[in-house]
Amino acid sequence: MTEKPIQREEDGVLILERTKKKPKKPGKYAVVILNDDYTPRDFVVWILQTVFHKSHGDANRIMLEAHTTGKAMCGVFPLDLAKTMVTEVRNFADQYEYPLECRIEATQEE
């Protein structure tokens, strides 16, 4: 906010108006899990509960959506958080040697 404010006076009160627009909100990014033939369903549900803090019911619904349609959205986050979540999912999947894949998709929101 380095630009000079506009100054005006109203009833003897000096009003300083900001000339710069508010900073843009951070973009929103969807984290999506992809289906595969090898990762156990229970492991996907556990990932959704552990990394994305979903209830067991929501985790099961998201897992089934990925299982039947090929992919499902786990949540929408600012980019840095979305990246952290993808890294966590990949680390757990590597640790247990499952091929579960997860990626970030830009949403329409600004």
Binders of ligand TYC in range 2-61 (CB under 6 A): 33-37, 39-41, 44
DSSP run (H or E) holding 81: helix 79-95
Interaction residues for ligand TYC, span 90-109 (CB under 6 A):
100
**Sign of the C-alpha dihedral, residues 40, 45, 48, 49?**
negative
Residues touching ligand TYC: how many (CB under 6 A)?
Answer: 13
State how far the Cα of 89 lies from the Cα of 62, in Å rounded to an integer: 15
Does residue 66 bind ligand TYC (CB under 6 A)?
Answer: yes
Binding-site member from 28, 61, 67, 90 for ligand TYC (CB under 6 A) = 67
Minimum distance from residue 88 beta carbon to ligand TYC (Å): 15
Distances in whole angstroms, Cα of residue 11 to Cα of each of 14, 17, 88: 8, 16, 58
Judged by the rule CB under 6 A, the positions of this chain that interact with ligand TYC are 33-37, 39-41, 44, 63, 66-67, 100
